[in-house]
Amino acid sequence: MIKRQPFFYDITLRDGNQSLKKPWNTFEKEIIFNHLLELGIQGVEVGFASASDMDYEACSRLAQIAPDNIVISALARCIENDIVKAVKSIDAASKRRVHTFIAMSPFNMEYVLNKSPLEVKKQAIEAVEFARKTIGKNGQVQFSVEHFGDCHENIDFVIDTLKEVVKAGANVINLPNTVERTRPKKFVDLVEKVYNALPKDIIISVHNHNDLGMATATTVESYFAGAIQLECALNGLGERAGNTNLYEVAIALHNSGVDVPLNLSKIYELALTVSDMSNVKIYEKAPLIGPEALAHRSGIHQDGAVKTKDMEKGAYRPIHPSLIGRKDDEKLGFTSQSGKTAIFEIISDAGYPITLQEAQRIAPIAKEEAEKIGELSTRNIIDIYYNNVLNVKGLFKLCNLEKTSDGNSILEFMYKDKKYSMEVSGNGPVDSCIKALQKSGFNFEFLNYEQKALNMGSDATAMTIMQFKAPNGQTIISRGCDESTVKANLKAIFNGLNIIEKLQPESMTTKR
């Protein structure tokens, strides 16, 4: 276990909120804020006080209700008015932090700020001095190098500026990958350089956007390179492709043996709430929280998933779903890529009896159907089960069973187009029926018989399970289900005959 605990800094209410089609009001922000507290977050950037009156009001309200141990910050450009407003807005918080930033990449300084590096450096130092004076010695000052990820060419200039900024009063240095353009390693190397250059009591923070989908990787590796504060957003909300997803970072660190100071079991429910409140859908394949994140469709994966279902580590999942409070188990979907395990699990879960051998027998039928229509629903699979286990259609057709006056019965059935009629003894009818069939030239062996009472609907209360041996030696199981135990027996026999006939067409009738 790595001792150094990460400091999770939430930016959903600031960067995330900035990106919403309808940014949150104070009431809505308060709901999310309370969830963040339940999650056990260490710090929250509550807003950009100069963005709007509504955001200023929200910052003030959240600062008022913030517990004493949570760091609360508001964002400000390196402009005095912004800084004053930000500091004022969070005045009520016990742990106050003003967060000021300016771009320092060569490209942005030249084309967006239209300022020389020296002008930017001066502005940064003066803004931090002013922020320190405004918030006082008990408050914190966070300084961000906007577009830090684009500062490869001028990293010495950036580090030099940061040293001055620290002297001016900043105690948190935030390094954003404002736009993710290249590989994580390049960014992490820069983080490491800054970490090595600054005094060790300075908190190094990272804030990564997800333009290329690697923000989680960048943030996790930055932690191992020295960044303690990890700026993340719930559901990965944030400008463009979003900010770093908090859940992914928390779980990746947890799985890496890091002591993550969050209530991980709150994650799943929180993700659904945030999606509802932000109107940003969780996409199907979203890691950990997506509806499909625990779905298995390939037969090999389904087999591994089922074998390790109750274990903490799963063959085909990164965590046990309960770690994040997710109750829906690993879902098995049946497609043409799936196999017997899925049939077995889906039918068993639906409350019907089935063996793996039966599942293996009907899987190809289900696959063929899935090739035509795509993923089968549970209903589709139950229908296949009915038609191929409980009511196997084939060349044998049971027509009638009629009692005679002497207590025996006359059994009538069809094989191909021919009608058969035979007497079945009332004493041991199963045995007698099987013997009669064998005597008529049908070549199969009867191995085993079992009858169970069950409740599968009003017209099916008895289930007969039989085992037969086909002419090639293969053992099959057949079932018959009916209100009447005698009919359940007969259905099991004829289902069995049809199963054998389908497995080895014509082979059982060699004597005929």
Closest separation in Å from C-beta 86 to Zn ion: 16
142 vs 478 by CB, closer to ligand KIV: 142
Measured from the CB atom, is 226 or 236 closer to Zn ion? 236
Stretch that binds ligand KIV, among 88-96, 110-118, 171-179, 282-290 (CB under 6 A): 171-179
Q: Give the residue carrying structure tokens 């009332």.
A: 426
How far is 237 from 392, CA to CA, in rounded Å? 53
Geometric angle at alpha carbon 324, from 323 and 329, rounded to 5°: 80
Distance CA 242, CA 455 (A): 52
Closest contact distance (angstroms) between CB of 384 and ligand KIV is 53
Q: Is 142 in the site for ligand KIV (CB under 6 A)?
A: no
15 scored as a contact of Zn ion (CB under 5 A): yes
Map the footprint of ligand KIV across residues 1-30, applying CB under 6 A. Answer: 15
Q: How far is the CB of 105 from ligand KIV (least distance, A)?
A: 10
H/E element, 164: helix 155-167
CB of 344 to Zn ion, least distance (A): 48
Q: Footprint of ligand KIV on residues 432-461 (CB under 6 A)?
A: none
- Cβ proximity to ligand KIV, 82 vs 501, nearer residue: 82
Cα separation, 330 vs 341, whole angstroms: 13
Q: Is residue 3 exposed (0-12), middle (13-18) or buried (19+ Cβ within 10 Å)?
A: exposed
Classify 437 in phi/psi space as left (phi over 0), alpha (psi -120 to 50) or beta: alpha
Question: For ligand KIV, which is the closer residue by CB, 139 or 176?
Answer: 176
Q: How far is the CB of 182 from ligand KIV (least distance, A)?
A: 16
Residue with Cβ nearer ligand KIV (178 or 219):
178
Looking at the DSSP assignment, which residues form a beta bridge with residue 475? 469
In the complex, minimum distance from the CB of residue 233 to ligand KIV, in angstroms, rounded to a whole number? 10
> Which tokens in the block code for residue 254?
């947890």
Q: Are 177 and 190 in contact (CB under 8 A)?
A: no
The region of 109-117, 173-181, 302-310, 423-431 touching ligand KIV under the rule CB under 6 A is 173-181
User: Which DSSP category does 282 fall into?
Assistant: P
**Residue 501 in the binding site for ligand KIV (CB under 6 A):** no
Check binding of 144 to ligand KIV (CB under 6 A): yes
φ and ψ of 205, to 5 deg: -125, 150
Phi, psi of 504 (to 5 degrees): -135, 75
Q: Which is nearer to ligand KIV, 107 or 386 (CB)?
A: 107
146 binds, among Zn ion, ligand KIV, none (CB under 5 to 8 A by kind): ligand KIV
**Stretches 51-59, 170-178, 481-489, 497-505: which one binds ligand KIV (CB under 6 A)?**
170-178
One DSSP character per residue, 441-461 reads T---EEEEEEEEE--SSTT--
Residue 69 burial (10 A CB sphere; 0-12, 13-18, 19+): exposed
Which one-letter amino acid corresponds to residue 418?
K
Question: Closer CB to ligand KIV, residue 241 or residue 436?
Answer: 241
Count of residues touching ligand KIV (by CB under 6 A): 9
Which residues contact residue 484 at a Cβ distance below 8 angstroms, ignoring those fewer than 6 apart? 462
Q: Among all chains, which residue has been given the structure tokens 């990965």? A: 236
State the DSSP code for 405.
Answer: T
C-beta atoms surrounding 259 within 10 Å: 12
Determine, following the binding rule CB under 6 A, whether residue 207 of this chain makes contact with ligand KIV.
yes
Q: Which among 113, 60, 120 is positioned nearest to 85, based on CA atoms?
A: 60
**What's the CA gap between 100 and 15, in Å, rounded?**
14
Q: Which of these, 320, 340, 338, 339, lies nearest to 330 by C-alpha position?
A: 320
# binding residues, Zn ion (CB under 5 A):
1
CA–CA separation, 213 vs 239, rounded Å? 13
Q: Per CB under 6 A, which region of 80-88, 172-180, 384-392, 464-472 contacts ligand KIV?
A: 172-180
Q: From the list 42, 178, 205, 337, which residue makes contact with ligand KIV (rule: CB under 6 A)?
A: 178
Closer by beta carbon to ligand KIV, 42 or else 144: 144
**Rule CB under 5 A: is residue 45 a binding residue for Zn ion?**
no
| Minimum gap (Å) between residue 112 Cβ and ligand KIV | 12
Q: Whole-number minimum distance, CB 14 to Zn ion, in Å?
A: 8
Query: In which element (H, E) is residue 269 found?
Result: helix 267-278
State which of residues 101, 352, 413, 415 lies at the interface with ligand KIV (CB under 6 A). Answer: 101
* Binding partner at 144 among Zn ion, ligand KIV, none, C-beta below 5 to 8 Å by kind: ligand KIV
Query: Would you count residue 176 as binding ligand KIV (CB under 6 A)?
Result: yes
Shortest distance in whole angstroms from residue 173 CB to ligand KIV: 11
Least distance (Å) from ligand KIV to the CB of residue 166?
A: 17
CA distance 86 to 134: 10
Segment lying near Zn ion (by CB under 5 A), choices 10-18, 103-111, 339-347, 441-449: 10-18
Q: List interacting residues with Zn ion (CB under 5 A).
A: 15
Residues lying near ligand KIV in the complex (CB under 6 A): 15, 101, 144, 146, 174, 176, 178, 207, 209
